[in-house]
Amino acid sequence: MAKEGIFFKNYYSVSNQTIRAEFSILASYNPDVLGGPVYVNNPDLSVLTLPGLLKKKGYTTHWFEADCGSFAQRKMNFLRSRGIDKFHTGIPTKHPPLGLGAADEDTFDYALGLLSQEKKPFFAEIMTLSNH
């Protein structure tokens, strides 16, 4: 897939928490804008996101996550209104779970299985548990 699309080998966000870094990467904002995790503290913040831009250009947009605990619904509501079409949680597992959810191998296998069936350009965020 990397050979046929745009692949960022190194993509960084300065943050002390995954949920803040994710917002920073998707919206190009300082992760502490308005003083905390935007998904939780400011869910109605009007920001343009990478998935939103790509959706307008005809991309299908996916969000995969092995498990994100209590933030799940808030994150999905925020991301749904900013361009994510398809949410994939509850990853089927073959390997022993990793903490709260699916092992990275299961998460990537599941994501690659679905994404390989896409017929048009797509954007996908795949959030693993080991190095998320």
pLDDT band at residue 69 using 50, 70 and 90 as cut-offs:
low
Hey, what domains does the chain have and what are their CATH numbers? 2-127 (3.40.720.10)
Per-residue pLDDT tens for 73-122? 778 888 898 999 999 988 888 988 877 788 899 999 999 999 999 999 99
pLDDT band at 35 (very low <50, low <70, confident <90, very high): low
pLDDT of residue 7: 77
User: Max alpha carbon distance in the chain (Å)?
Assistant: 41
pTM assigned to the model: 0.83
Predicted confidence at residue 110, as pLDDT, reads 96
What is the number of alpha carbons within 13 Å of residue 37 lying toward its C-beta? 13
